[in-house]
Amino acid sequence: MHETDIKQIDVKTTSPYSVFVGECMLDFIKERIKGKKNLILTDSNVFSFHEKYLNNISKDIFVLKAGEESKNYRELLRIYDFLIDRGADRYSRLVCVGGGVVGDIGGFAASTYMRGIGLVHVPTSLLAMVDSSIGGKTAINYGNLKNIIGSFYQPEAVFVDVSFLKTLPDREYISAFAEIVKYGIIRDKELFEFLGANIKAIRDRNDKVIRLLIEKSIKNKVEVVEADEKEKGLRTILNFGHTFAHAIESLTEYKVYLHGEAVAIGMIMALGLSKRLELIDDSLINQVRSLLEGMGLPYRLDMDIKAEEAYEIMLKDKKNKESALRFILTRGVGNSIISSGIAKEVIMDAINEGK
């Protein structure tokens, strides 16, 4: 692969870095990260498919058990032990090669070990390529709360090697489209319409379409993060559907829905709430529902969760201010608003309607 085939997107945060998007990027990555002690964090699935690739980067590899259930403090402590055992110092770097789980827990470990060591993301799931590897949010889950412990910690670079997608299972591939649809709804009408017009190409994993969607998604996320790195205001829109999604993930103990699937259902609930508040009518809900369905994503809960329990979890959401729940709602595609002071019954109705 020639360097000219690699797209560079710069991220102008307090600590600036670049996102590189290309194919078969191993040599490119090695060249860019040489000169520091590199240690790898990955998960069992990525390791089993890509052991050679990983060994080529570093022989110091920590393998997490794949899945959301590994995003916890026990695994975090094991990562610290690994860093200590392998002699990682302040000048070392953690290279997270995996999906959002590896990136989130690895980013948090890197941000706290010795008060912060180098961090590089090599996202291997589509969701990590379009969303989680960008923007510096790191986290672990604790108790029944999703991402409740974490930090903002920007990486030194992100290398999006799309060749990894060849081994990504369909369910994981499709789940990323919830976050891509999210970008469309919150701020990118053209992207929203493109998705609707390309469902078949998406399901067929058309290379050109995937590459274009990755780049468009990264640009959307980068623009928001550059404008509001620490989520003081605008960045909250990236949480569209997530207040509901996190409650769903937590109440089902991360065993039923992938993050993207929960976000898909959560977005329909957020749209339902927008309709109850007379911000939109049924037509947008129907449009998004058929888009999600066409892609193979769930759009309603197919198991019973108690609205009251979901509400209790939402009361602990990180967006809340002075005990008031805050939701990202929409007045239409590309027109999101942040709303608080919504009556409990209205929120509960939106949850119940999404079942």
Ligand X SMILES: NC(=O)c1ccc[n+]([C@@H]2O[C@H](COP(=O)([O-])OP(=O)(O)OC[C@H]3O[C@@H](n4cnc5c(N)ncnc54)[C@H](O)[C@@H]3O)[C@@H](O)[C@H]2O)c1
Token look-up 């998004």 returns 288
Site mask for ligand X (CB under 6 A), range 224-263, x = bound: ----------------------------------xxx---
Rg of the chain over Cα atoms, rounded to whole angstroms, equals 20
Q: Stretches 29-37, 121-129, 265-273, 305-313: which one binds ligand X (CB under 6 A)?
A: 121-129
The catalytically annotated residue of 172, 179, 249, 261 is 179
What amino acid occupies position 287?
Q
In whole angstroms, how far apart are CA 62 and each of 47, 85, 102, 129, 350?
A: 10, 11, 10, 21, 42
Output the smallest distance, CB 20 to ligand LNCXM5UN, in A. 19
> Where in 153-182 is the site for ligand X (CB under 6 A)?
164, 167-168, 172, 175
The catalytically annotated residue of 242, 275, 289, 326 is 242
Residue 46 binds: one of ligand LNCXM5UN, ligand X, none (C-beta under 5 to 8 A by kind): ligand X
Residue 42 binds: one of ligand LNCXM5UN, ligand X, none (C-beta under 5 to 8 A by kind): none
Can you tell me the distance from the alpha carbon of 197 to that of 237, in angstroms, rounded to the nearest whole number?
24
Instruction: Write phi, then psi, for 87 (nearest 5 degrees).
Output: 70, 30
- Residue 140 found at the interface with ligand LNCXM5UN (CB under 6 A): no
Can you tell me the distance from the alpha carbon of 135 to that of 307, in angstroms, rounded to the nearest whole number?
32
Annotated catalytic, 137?
yes
Pair type for strands 137-142 and 61-64: unpaired
First vs last C-alpha separation in the chain: 47
Annotated binding site for NAD(+): 100-104, 124-125, 137, 146, 164-167
Q: Which of 45, 111, 154, 250 binds ligand X (CB under 6 A)?
A: 45
Q: Which of 111, 132, 239, 330 binds ligand X (CB under 6 A)?
A: 132
The catalytically annotated residue of 221, 275, 289, 326 is 221
What amino acid occupies position 153?
Y
Please name the residues in contact with 34: beta carbons below 8 A apart, sequence gap of 6 or more.
none
Q: Stretches 61-69, 76-84, 270-278, 303-311: which one binds ligand X (CB under 6 A)?
A: 61-69
Residue 172 binds: one of ligand X, ligand LNCXM5UN, none (C-beta under 5 to 8 A by kind): ligand X
Question: Quick one: how far is CA 160 from the chain centroid?
Answer: 14
Residues carrying an active site annotation: 115, 137, 179, 221, 231, 235, 239, 242, 246, 259
**Footprint on this chain of ligand X (rule: CB under 6 A):** 43, 45-46, 49, 66-68, 71, 98-102, 104, 124-125, 127-128, 131-132, 135, 137, 147, 164, 167-168, 172, 175, 258-260
**Footprint on this chain of ligand LNCXM5UN (rule: CB under 6 A):** 131, 135, 137, 139, 147, 179, 231, 235, 238-239, 242, 318
